[in-house]
Structure 1
């Protein structure tokens, strides 16, 4: 079946087929397959970060990981998933960051993160959770956290959880969730995210995922502009933004080999790249859609558009990009 005829699969696990039965088991409050999948992941830190994050999105609504943690409170994988689930539950509270319930839940999650780090110091995923929790301390009036080593950024960047970020990069230099969590901290702070994203991109070499970081910052800016009702008609066609879209296409995606393009870790980045290529009009999205295959992600197709039928938007963009690719 050609790419243009593939029916879409809208699922957080994407092409990671090993996760699909995990979610079915989680619904029953069981954790055996979670344990097996994480054990099979080994020291592939990018995949471990991705799988633990996606599993936690589902597991946080079930008691499965609670059972696992109680039965195996000293195993590295159980501790990681306990930290992941507690972190996810903080976000699920959907309360102001200054709310006492949020601050207490965030502190409990931090303790779980540090336990997971002690159990497996080389794994970056628990530190990524700490980065996620840092946004609950973004407002210094409510800062609770004294042990994650806040520091000023380089080159006049604002203060933030930089030591945590560098600790993740030491273990996994291309950890895409770490970049997202760092940006989310500065979104929560209300300033600095754009400067951080563009600064990170300046250190991106050929084939570096850092070329995608500005696109995530632009996408968040675009989403907020739409929410405020601001004009966005020419947002993506400015030369400034087009230049970063071209860099991500030509200096990151173009260098990826076939195995890397098949990684489930990169599905959202591929979808965002394809979307921004279409919005900016720079062209060349055909190979990106081929890498996406049927695995569309709600971000950006749904979250950045006001129209309800995002599937049709995706299919139309894919058809147009693949037709252009055939012509050239």
Structure 2
């Protein structure tokens, strides 16, 4: 059984060892390692989506991808990373989402996304960026792009459904796609829970769509804390417990050891462990074993009222879950 003092790794790359040399290269405004890791990723769409997203988080603060875009003939990989970086920089602007500066940056990022899509139509990652950028058109009073305001299936609210379906056609289990779809409705201020519940209802066995309601609940929980609303019993409601059990038994329980170890699932596993612990439904031991030392900021820091104590909270939840697992044998 892991000890309480096991060091935790909360880096965005998690267990993806191939990414760590990339970050060292980025610090020096170099892009060779980015080229190599993306080339090695090939057509593994989930890994390509994950790696390009994590790389962009760091590359957006460097000139590495700018140099790649400027110095070499465009390739599918360089165009994707250019789209990723411009998208990330748009979100990093410290001005209201309706500000002309933001809207101009978002449009520039969209053009980069379309160039990446043209270069590699089968890849879903640039379309995920377009789905993310739809948040800048989430105010129903000022609809800018019809593609963002299509009626949803089953009476669901209008949203960027064509972009979502385009990703799902290429990668049905693309986890960033459903997170970006939810973020559109968070930005709009309504509809996220209905969308999350519909997606979970449509999920089959072993589908990570069972995780979608947990992300919607987590965002609602975060917003409640910001407003100072009472959240003492939030996770122990029948509603929250039901979705915790569904994600545990109809998604996680079906994953083999190799899949559980994938860095792509790191945030999903951490959120599932958090919700199982907070809801009291039990059975988080195997989830913590799959997590290992790779804790993610969401949820342990994002949802923790005292961020300085997040490591202790992680250890406490993990030790309790592993002890529960041991006594059940």
- Using the size of structure 2 for normalisation, the TM-score is 0.97
For 1:27, the equivalent position in structure 2 comes to 27
Q: How many residues align?
A: 327
Q: CA deviation at 1:141?
A: 3.8
For 1:224, the equivalent position in structure 2 comes to 223
Equivalent residue runs for 1:1-328 within 5 Å: 2=2, 6-145=6-145, 148=147, 150-307=149-306, 308-328=308-328
Q: CA deviation at 1:97?
A: 1.0
Gaps of 5+ in 2: none
Q: CA deviation at 1:149?
A: 6.0
Report Cα offsets for 1:227-251 as digits up to 9, x if no partner. Answer: 1011111111111110110000000
Taking structure 1 as reference, are residues 136 and 149 closer, same or farther at Cα in structure 2, changes over 3 Å only? closer
Maintained 8 Å contact 1:90/1:105: yes
Report Cα offsets for 1:180-224 as digits up to 9, x if no partner. Answer: 000000000000000000000001111000000000000000000
Report Cα offsets for 1:225-274 as digits up to 9, x if no partner. Answer: 11101111111111111011000000000000011001000000000000
Q: Which runs of 4+ in 1 moved over 6 A?
A: none
Q: CA deviation at 1:72?
A: 2.7
Taking structure 1 as reference, are residues 193 and 73 closer, same or farther at Cα in structure 2, changes over 3 Å only? farther
Cα distance in structure 2, aligned partners of 1:274 and 1:177: 19
Cα distance in structure 2, aligned partners of 1:12 and 1:25: 16
- Using the size of structure 1 for normalisation, the TM-score is 0.97
CA RMSD of aligned residues (A): 1.2
Partner SS state of residue 157, structure 2? coil
Q: CA deviation at 1:3?
A: 6.7
Q: CA deviation at 1:309?
A: 1.1
